[in-house]
Amino acid sequence: MLSHIQSLKEQELETKKQKQKNMRLARLLMVATLVGLSLFSLLTIISTIEPKDTAEAKGIVPKEIVPQKTVEKDSWELILVNSQHVLSMDFTVDLIKFGNTRVDCRISEPLRKMIDAAKDEGINISVCSGYRSVSEQNALYNAKCLFYVSQGYSEEASKILASQYIQKGGASEHHTGLAVDLLTDGAADLDESFAETPAYAWLKENAAKYGFIERYPKGKDQFTGILWEPWHYRYVGESNAEEIVSKNLCLEEYLQDIDGEP
Ligand SMILES: [Zn+2]
């Protein structure tokens, strides 16, 4: 009997101890929660306080945000003409005489400046062809086809070969008056020998400053549809030209870049 009472007392003591332990734990949890909440509030308050030495605090009016350079894709300088982008028949251009040819009157001055700047460095560059009408272009294309036929190619094969260099009427950017074929000493014909001349090296370095780009660069024919033409230059405006050259793009790639398409 005595041992039973003792055992009950021990049990009671144990329960009491457990209760005290639980209460301590609960208190600890409450304190932790309170500390957590206080920290959170403190951090929230701190984050809303601006540092004292901002421009506003110093009384300086913030500068106007300068917008990123926007490229007007539809500007006249960036008109895209190729076999997929054929000019509409009502396309018109204001032409001005330039040597033995004519160009869009808006590029006459930069073209003159570029040629003069090269001349100042002892390099002769002349324009052998600028604007071409659709019928002139068709005549050129047909002549090129006949050339390949005379070389023994079939009519079909001749057309394919000719179109690698000469576009059909409507698909040549010479219709825009913004493109020129250039000649220089030692490159009397329009062929790859132009790339061996000092004029080509000079143009590679300087053409963009005047708004011109080598329109059909080497290795870009999968985009342009035209094999390398080191003699053919196209006016796109100075800032476009600088960007196209610095990024090593062709016009098709550049326009795709602006579109944001892959
Ligand atoms: Zn050309």
Tell me the pLDDT tens digit for each residue of 121-158: 999 999 999 999 998 999 999 999 999 999 999 999 99
CA 216 to chain centre: 16
Asked if the structure places residue 152 within a domain, the reply is no
Rounded to the nearest angstrom, the distance between the alpha carbon of 251 and the centre of ligand 1 is 15
Do residues 50 and 124 share a domain? no
Please give the distance, rounded to the nearest whole angstrom, from the Cα atom of residue 155 to the centre of ligand 1: 24
Q: Taking the complete model, does pTM exceed 0.85, yes or no?
A: no
- The C-alpha atoms of residue 132 and residue 180 are separated, in whole angstroms, by 10
Same domain flag for 201 and 243: yes
Are residues 203 and 221 located together in one domain of the fold? Answer: yes
131: nearest Cα among 182, 162, 165, 172: 172
User: Does residue 21 lie within any of the structural domains?
Assistant: yes
Domain coverage including residue 232 = 76-132+172-259
DSSP 187: B
Both 56 and 178 in one domain: the answer is: no
In a domain, 113, yes or no: yes
Each of the 262 residues of the chain gets a pLDDT tens digit; together they read 555 556 666 666 666 667 666 666 656 555 555 555 555 554 444 444 444 344 444 444 444 554 455 667 779 999 999 999 999 878 899 999 999 999 999 999 999 999 999 999 999 999 999 999 998 999 999 999 999 999 999 999 999 999 888 888 999 999 999 999 999 988 778 888 999 999 999 999 999 999 999 999 999 999 999 999 999 999 999 999 999 999 999 999 999 988 765 4
Taking the centre of ligand 1 as the mean of its atom positions, its distance from the CA of residue 81, in whole angstroms, is 12
Report helix, strand or coil for 235: strand
Q: Give the distance (Å) from ligand 1 centre to CA of residue 226.
A: 10
Catalytic positions: 229
**Same-domain status, 61 and 87:** no
Tell me the C-alpha distance between 114 and 211, whole Å: 9
Q: How many domains does the chain have?
A: 2
Ligand 1 centroid to Cα of residue 122, in Å, is 24
Residues 62 and 80 in one domain: no
Q: Is 159 domain-assigned?
A: no
Supply the Cα-derived Rg of the chain in whole angstroms: 38
Distances (CA, A) of 227 to 9, 33, 166, 191, 210: 104, 74, 10, 11, 24
Regarding whether 208 and 100 lie in a shared domain, the answer is yes
The CATH number covering residue 96 comes to 3.30.1380.10
Residue 159: its pLDDT value, please?
92
